[in-house]
Amino acid sequence: MPTYQEYQDQIAKLQVLAEQARQSELAEAKKRIQEMMKTSGLTIADLEDSKRPAAAKKQKTVAAKYRDPKSGQTWTGRGRAPRWLDGKNKDDFLIK
């Protein structure tokens, strides 16, 4: 039965072989990509244009629908209602 150290040595050898195989596969992939780019006439610049991230849409601000006449605070009607509206009719505070 092999010892722990023998297993560790085998693992180290296999890791070296795996990295060599990976590098070989990467080199082959690069060759295929270069051949495809030559036959189709693509350049690196063509590929970079497609990498641009889409512009983020700006969120529009929502106009306030309710106003507290005492403090002047406003609320859009979205999200959690403010404390000054607790137990009161929202329609009484509508901004006209």
- Mean pLDDT of the chain, nearest integer: 90
Q: What is the pTM of this model?
A: 0.45
State the average pLDDT over residues 49-60.
72
DSSP for 26-71, written as a single string = HHHHHHHHHHHHHHHT--HHHHHHTTPPPPPPPPPPPPP-EE-TTT
28-58 residues labelled b (16+ CB within 10 A) or e (exposed): eeeeeeeeeeeeeeeeeeeeeeeeeeeeeee
Look at residue 38 in the predicted model and tell me its pLDDT: 93
Look at residue 63 in the predicted model and tell me its pLDDT: 92
Look at residue 45 in the predicted model and tell me its pLDDT: 81
